[in-house]
Amino acid sequence: MSRITLTMVVSILAAAMVACGGAPSGVGDPEIGEEIYRTNLEDEPGQHACSECHSLGQSGPFGPSFQGISEIAGERVAGMTAEEYLRESIANPSAFIVEGYHDNLMPKVYGEILSEEEINHLIAFMLSQ
């Protein structure tokens, strides 16, 4: 395929995705992210939704608040963007422990039970806070 044909195909695909209302891959929808944030993802008694540990206001009840997380996330680990840090915090919470909190609270299963798309939605939601 020539370069021009390839460019055309890519533009048509991009236009089609916009027309269908679908977000381009890698970009989440903050509203869907908020739904996921309020859902008990492990679907078992005794397990918690993100929102039961992370508030959007004052810190707590069990984890740091997401208030201002879009700003804070990019400053947590040198060399990591906010998005990279949030992705890692979901998939591998032990990689960085927020000061004053314990490593044993945040569930470590999200990297396995959530799809990449669901994680993208969660990240978009957190970046809107």
| Smallest separation, CB 24 to ligand HEC (Å) | 22
How far the first Cα of the chain sits from its last, in Å, is 44
| Smallest separation, CB 122 to ligand HEC (Å) | 5
28, 19 Cβ separation under 8 angstroms: no
| Smallest separation, CB 104 to ligand HEC (Å) | 8
DSSP state of 42: T
Using CB under 6 A as the binding rule, the residues of this chain from 72 to 101 that contact ligand HEC are 72, 76, 86, 89-90, 93, 96-98, 101
Q: Does 55 bind ligand HEC (CB under 6 A)?
A: no
Site string for ligand HEC, 10-39 (x = CB under 6 A): ------------------------------
Rg (CA), the chain: 17
Count of residues near ligand HEC by CB under 6 A: 25
**Residue 54 in 3-state DSSP?**
strand
Annotate 62-100 with DSSP letters as a single string.
Answer: SS---TTHHHHHHHHSTT--HHHHHHHHHH-GGGS--TT
Positions touching ligand HEC (CB under 6 A) are 41, 48, 50, 52-54, 62-64, 69, 72, 76, 86, 89-90, 93, 96-98, 101, 105-107, 110, 122
